[in-house]
Structure 1
């Protein structure tokens, strides 16, 4: 095995690329990014379905240190986001450090050498510091439906879109009504002969104020100092203000819910259909979605909303609980991701042989500031537990984490340390505080969502303002860590 690298990063989405850039700028040159796929981009590489786009405005859904003034639209489409990430990787010399087609199978802490021994599909690699940038939404979930594998038509998950399958003029089912489905349904409604949308839980869908940027606007952003920064600051403040309803005063969501109901009734003429599209839980409890063309799609005669539970899939279609079978040519599973399993299926073994998945299975996923885990020295998570948002840009949260990780690595170098590890009492206190705060949020108002584990514990979301998270991660506190040198090697 070759000499250990200073830092190994798992994943090359926004987290992995941004972390590599910040480390390189801090003088950490010996780093490697391991990517299981043949290209970078993470979720923006994988999700190429029709209509794929971001629901955060482009000026905020980008790195603060790499401004892009020529976005085509207010809300960036998938292709442009992916191009932006490739641009960043090339410009900041990350691309030569990415090992594509290298899947990480696991990692084990070598106590004697103070190293992570990382198992990959191409052999073992050693790292002094290991950073997981796998994200929360990278492992697609297919529902456990009887007969699913016996369907004889075309079937795939929305994040594994089969572009070779021509669905025009076909009988198509979309199972699921989450963030991907509300973008897919209007696109399929334009071309499918018949479209059946199977809904288990109705989402809240609010307007998406999207439009192309005009040429003069892009010129202004590019040439006039301060205009881009002002646009970014305005969008940030607008979105950050929504945290009041999510995490501080959930009753404030009532006004937004009233506007939602009014708009739903304006967009859908059929009163019975309105009732079936109306969510039965408080607004914000699940992810709020943005679209201007989702509800109008159900006004088309060939588009059907199905709310009867699915009983089974047959070779030729889907049977619902009322006994109705709908004949189909294709099924699109827009059924989400294994959001609370963070590093799975990798086997991560820390100090004294403890396995991360078993530690988290007993108490639920937990990490101090969503970044460090007791018992796992020199391991840092990006977009880990308690760092997802319901109201603002995850890129802002990631940049806070970049700074914290860089601060930890720099502190280790200055002090000549081989390892640091968050103290268990510090992590436990943080976890208890998060659970206390989460109880008062709208996410804890009675629904089941992907923010929760199976037992109902919310582990994904940050229960506060993003600027509060940035303040909490401004610099690592040495008092939070156990630390040491490898005396055996010395």
Structure 2
């Protein structure tokens, strides 16, 4: 009798044809599946390489992990959550929200866990995407890349790091089995993750050495516990929750005006300077923590505990990048050194060089990576010429420094749903954005970016790709984004017709 595992393998490795295949089951993948089903498509599947859904909120479990966008905005507008216990929700609550939403909309049964996409290639002969996975093969009419930009950790190529005799891990792969009590810890990086986990681990460690290549603007975080009475109101009066969401959206859009007109950010920058002065009394440390660029040029950070943690006696701030690791010593570019037994990398993610781009191929065998040549580009951040019937979620040109990823995502999802509805009603077999349309959009974006704080703020950030070009940022308001993606223009696409297309 065959072993049960062999029976499972035989079943899960069968080739299957579907209308749509979604790569990833984080907030993008779940949202895409919901919108596709609402558009009338039921023959779809999500493939997920991990054993649970949640994307970045599944992977990032470091101490102190929480959202830096107000909770009311960090959710789907069509699935509001009245149960947030904090104004800025923590990772466990966000992950639970994604699980609950996927279950409520019937998406969880569509997810194939433990299934990683290894190659997706377009075949014009049958107008299908042929997707190879670790558990079999799929063909699909539509391909939705929903792996997201905050997915694959960026590991720095520090000389000697591989030979470090102690523990090394990235913040998004936190080693909860490694006891930090009394440990000598070097933290490499001072971005959004470090700002959260440094205060959480500082009281436990013996010594903490923060290697900070660039000082960050850190504003006070208006976080607070949400009382039971307020949650009761949100449950009983949905209009109250909508009003809160709208108010928070308006406040963040007001801040966004400054991102497009950097001179207006001076008042906000003064708040950041005041926050630093009132919490860090040591003038030498304060100088090391003072940014030399305009607020908003890098991702805006919020914390009430980060600066106080850095003033504690067991913390040393090295205002330098790491040059090398020599045995148990971490050496800074400025010559400073620290003897440690643990290194935690808060070095971010492959934002613009997303690994999925190396696995998606056009009809001639060229990958997205080959097309982009280091500068990602997509029409409305969503479709790429030469890759028919494919959508990229949270793609290039759509990033904002002031709003919620959900605002961006929902604009894309509505666009995708309109495209699919038109595709099906018109009997299309393929849709491929015209190259001149994509080029014109990219030129429009690049023309608008130089006056924004993303480009004119005087810093180097992950918004800039390997060619030094800003391939990340949307240079206008999210309101303009929503209006722009609210209309699907068939004339922007070359298409072929096949009256046998399922409807």
Q: Under a length normalisation based on structure 1, what TM-score does the superposition of the two structures give?
A: 0.97
Instruction: Confirm or deny: 8 A CA contact 1:404 1:476 kept in the other structure.
Output: yes
Closer, same or farther in 2 for the Cα pair 1:432/1:380, shift >3 Å? Answer: same
Aligned residue for 2:469?
Answer: 457
Instruction: Confirm or deny: 8 A CA contact 2:187 2:211 kept in the other structure.
Output: yes
Query: Of 52, 67, 76, which residue of structure 2 is paired with 1:63?
Result: 76
Q: Secondary structure at the match of 1:313?
A: strand
**Aligned-pair CA distance for 1:347:** 2.2
Report whether the alignment pairs 1:32 with 2:45. Answer: yes
Query: Of 210, 218, 222, which residue of structure 2 is paired with 1:209?
Result: 222
CA distance, structure 1, for counterparts of residue 106 and residue 236 of structure 2? 26
Query: Of 170, 194, 202, which residue of structure 2 is paired with 1:157?
Result: 170
CA distance, structure 2, for counterparts of residue 271 and residue 27 of structure 1? 62
Aligned residue for 1:287?
Answer: 299
Matches within 5 A, 1:324-335: 324-335=336-347
RMSD over aligned Cα atoms: 1.6
Instruction: Confirm or deny: 8 A CA contact 2:398 2:472 kept in the other structure.
Output: yes
Q: Which moved more, 1:221-230 or 1:295-304?
A: 221-230
Q: Secondary structure at the match of 1:464?
A: coil
Cα-to-partner distance string for 1:382-405 (whole Å, 9 max, x where unaligned): 000011110011101111111111
Cα-to-partner distance string for 1:226-261 (whole Å, 9 max, x where unaligned): 1111111100101111111112x1111111112211
Instruction: Confirm or deny: 8 A CA contact 2:358 2:367 kept in the other structure.
Output: no
Aligned residue for 1:313?
Answer: 325
Question: Any gaps of 5 or more consecutive residues in structure 1?
Answer: none
Closer, same or farther in 2 for the Cα pair 1:403/1:283, shift >3 Å? Answer: same
Instruction: Confirm or deny: 8 A CA contact 2:147 2:356 kept in the other structure.
Output: no
Instruction: Confirm or deny: 8 A CA contact 1:153 1:315 kept in the other structure.
Output: no
Cα-to-partner distance string for 1:399-431 (whole Å, 9 max, x where unaligned): 111111111111111011111010111000000
Q: Under a length normalisation based on structure 2, what TM-score does the superposition of the two structures give?
A: 0.94
Report whether the alignment pairs 1:81 with 2:104. Answer: no
- List structure 1 segments (4+ residues) > 6 angstroms apart after TM superposition: 487-490
Question: Any gaps of 5 or more consecutive residues in structure 2?
Answer: 1-13
Aligned residue for 2:439?
Answer: 428
Aligned residues: 488
Cα-to-partner distance string for 1:283-302 (whole Å, 9 max, x where unaligned): 11111100001001122111
Cα-to-partner distance string for 1:185-241 (whole Å, 9 max, x where unaligned): 101111111111100000000010001101111111111241111111100101111
Q: Secondary structure at the match of 2:373?
A: helix
Closer, same or farther in 2 for the Cα pair 1:318/1:112, shift >3 Å? Answer: same
CA distance, structure 1, for counterparts of residue 227 and residue 313 of structure 2? 35
Matches within 5 A, 1:192-203: 192-203=205-216
Aligned residue for 2:391?
Answer: 380
CA distance, structure 2, for counterparts of residue 276 and residue 330 of structure 1? 23
Q: Secondary structure at the match of 1:33?
A: strand
Closer, same or farther in 2 for the Cα pair 1:322/1:376, shift >3 Å? Answer: closer
Query: Of 257, 267, 271, which residue of structure 1 is paired with 2:269?
Result: 257
